[in-house]
Chains A and B, each alone.
Chain A
Amino acid sequence: MKRIRIQRWGSQFLAPRTQFRPQCPLRPPQHHLSPFPQPHSCRSQSTSAGDIFPPLDADESAGLSQQDEDVSIPPEALPSPPPSAALKSAKLAALHARLSLPPRLPIQTLARALVHESADPDPNFNNTSLAILGSNLLGLYTSEYLLCHYPRLPISVLFAAQSAYVGTKALALMAHEWGIESVAEPGGEVDPGLLQYRRLAAGAAWGEFAPRGTGRPNEQKGWRRGITSKIVYDDQFGDMRMKTPEPSQPVPLDIAAESFVRALMGATYLHCGRATTKRLFASHWLSRTLDLSKMFEFRTPTVDLSKLCAREGFEPAVARLISETGRASRHPVFVVGVYSGKDKLGEGAGGSIDEARVRAAVMALKSWYLYKPLDVTLPSDAEGMEPTKWKPNLVDLGEVIV
């Protein structure tokens, strides 16, 4: 660790240490409560809103500001840029404007969101807490959007869609598209507009790839992880929960970039509230295109379809040849439709009758699973809404179990 904590080492000789960095954003600065002047360990909290409140009296504030100026700790000694440097960074101001972030989001918080815990293990100065909040918000908004708009989506596709919107790869890609640049090596003297993280050396093994176990009660028996248990035991993408790496361990760029995007979401929620956060989510996430119909991979589509028809009480599915050409030629084409009674469920074309039949069954299944209700009220939109306007969403029976 680069930072020297004289205060901590010397604390046994001093009076009990008072709370020096304000932890709660709404707490006024407490510098004057300290029995001893403690200039050297002072790094003013980045997201502190204490300065918003007018000081109790003018003399005290003048004394405080002088004391703050007296703090002359070289920036190279800090693990990440001090919050005061944020106001001078052209990169940060440009990033704030480029993302059209609300003016209520302070530039110091944006700077803090850019500090990954591998650069600064101190939780008061890195983005871990903001990223946890942001991750939960992103997970909530994405999953409720997917579940309400596609109520029949199978669980495995739901997991994959969730990961396509807010997974590590997607968030790292977004950070890249936002023009986030990263430091070569973190430190207090570098521009706070850069993503601060300790980068993993090329080819080095990374500890986080090690899963920390399935978390299931019968883990030692080596049973497979079923879909339903993934909902309970695994993370929001249906993947096994990984070990948390040591705070100062080097990480790949993807992980650091992902933590920035999540922290930005969390910071927006804390500073600007739910409505602004939802707007940010709609403009940056929901505007992205994802073709859900290309994410399905059926193993036995015809069996699935007949089971589905039996479950829903439709007449049994029957495949019929609609048209064909060149049966005796080198490339014949058959068009097959799948019918339930008089209703055509799907249609597919293929080089053989069997291929066309399977394609038709896949099409029928996709059109069932990708059903989209017209009127959707998201639960998070219903907060603060009149109860009469709430319309319950469709909850489906679930995918076909074969």
Chain B
Amino acid sequence: MPLSAVKAVAKGQNGVGAFILQCKRLDFHYCDWAGSSKGMNAFIHKRLPQFARENPQIEITVSPRPHKHPVVTGHYINGREKAVCVRNMTTELILEKANLLKEASGEKLRRVNKPVTSVNESVRGIWSPYHGAQYKI
């Protein structure tokens, strides 16, 4: 066999072609008794139905967490989760936090230094001393 093939798997790039939102589930936890859940309870009654309608791709669960601060938890496709404590927050602030969790990729936050990240190799290629103008010393 003069020629054989190397097995590989095609890599997906989210957003090239289809876009899959990385946040798959948002959990809203509230407490009926504690004052820190006041904004959360108002959010669940007033704002959450509209938020769920605007984001059908996210599964939303609401559950009590008695005698604890209210929490919004996002579950992501990469298996990680992010939790934000929303104690004493108003409805608008909680909506902001929910949007933040929705738009997150689920990855750990890390500093991005390079303006472009690409799977394609550079068009110009790596600089080579043997091509182009030769320097004469």
Query: Does B61 count as interface, using CB distance less than 8 angstroms?
Result: yes
| Chain B CB within 10 Å, residue with most, of A165, A287, A290, A300 | A287
Measured CB to CB, the closest approach of chain A to B14, in angstroms, equals 8
The answer to whether A295 and B6 have CB atoms under 8 Å apart is yes
Query: Does A304 count as interface, using CB distance less than 8 angstroms?
Result: yes
Listed stretches A28-36, A55-63, A154-162, A199-207; interface member: A154-162
- The distance in angstroms between the C-alpha atoms of A314 and B3, with both chains bound, is 21
The answer to whether B8 and A294 have CB atoms under 8 Å apart is yes
The answer to whether B24 and A179 have CB atoms under 8 Å apart is yes
Measured CB to CB, the closest approach of chain B to A260, in angstroms, equals 15
- The distance in angstroms between the C-alpha atoms of A282 and B57, with both chains bound, is 21
The answer to whether A90 and B2 have CB atoms under 8 Å apart is no
- The distance in angstroms between the C-alpha atoms of A325 and B130, with both chains bound, is 8
Given A160-B5, A294-B6, A297-B6, A289-B13 contact (CB < 8 Å): yes
Query: Does A178 count as interface, using CB distance less than 8 angstroms?
Result: yes
Q: Which of A98, A288, A349 contacts B21 (CB 8 A)?
A: A98
Measured CB to CB, the closest approach of chain A to B88, in angstroms, equals 29
Measured CB to CB, the closest approach of chain B to A151, in angstroms, equals 16
A to B contact number (C-beta, < 8 Å): 124
The answer to whether A164 and B8 have CB atoms under 8 Å apart is yes
- The distance in angstroms between the C-alpha atoms of A55 and B6, with both chains bound, is 58
Q: Which of B17, B56, B59 contacts A282 (CB 8 A)?
A: B17
For B1-25 the 0/1 string (1 means CB < 8 A from A) is 1111111111111101110110011
The answer to whether B57 and A98 have CB atoms under 8 Å apart is yes
Contact residues in B for A163 (Cβ distance below 8 Å) = 7
Query: Does B119 count as interface, using CB distance less than 8 angstroms?
Result: yes
Interface residues of chain B: helix, strand, loop or mixed (majority): loop
Q: Which of B5, B12, B20, B129 contacts A288 (CB 8 A)?
A: B12
- The distance in angstroms between the C-alpha atoms of A371 and B13, with both chains bound, is 25
Q: Give the size category of B's interface with A.
A: 20 to 34
For B119-131 the 0/1 string (1 means CB < 8 A from A) is 1100000001110
Shortest Cβ distance from A401 into B: residue? B2
Measured CB to CB, the closest approach of chain B to A337, in angstroms, equals 12
Query: Does B44 count as interface, using CB distance less than 8 angstroms?
Result: no
Given A284-B18, A303-B2, A177-B12 contact (CB < 8 Å): yes
Q: Which of B2, B10, B13 contacts A402 (CB 8 A)?
A: B2
Listed stretches A70-78, A124-132, A167-175, A244-252; interface member: A167-175
Contact residues in B for A335 (Cβ distance below 8 Å) = 130
- The distance in angstroms between the C-alpha atoms of A300 and B2, with both chains bound, is 6
User: What are 25 contact pairs spanning A and B, CB under 8 A?
Assistant: A90-B60, A96-B56, A97-B56, A98-B57, A160-B5, A160-B8, A161-B5, A164-B8, A167-B9, A179-B24, A179-B77, A193-B59, A227-B1, A286-B17, A287-B12, A287-B16, A288-B17, A289-B11, A295-B5, A296-B3, A297-B3, A299-B3, A304-B2, A323-B130, A400-B2
The answer to whether B10 and A170 have CB atoms under 8 Å apart is yes
The answer to whether A98 and B11 have CB atoms under 8 Å apart is no
Q: Which of A106-161 contact B (CB under 8 A)?
A: 154, 156-157, 159-161
Contact residues in A for B1 (Cβ distance below 8 Å) = 156, 227, 299
- The distance in angstroms between the C-alpha atoms of A289 and B56, with both chains bound, is 28
Q: Which of B43-91 contact A (CB under 8 A)?
A: 56-61, 77
- The distance in angstroms between the C-alpha atoms of A34 and B4, with both chains bound, is 61
Given A98-B57, A177-B77, A335-B130, A284-B17 contact (CB < 8 Å): yes
- The distance in angstroms between the C-alpha atoms of A333 and B128, with both chains bound, is 11
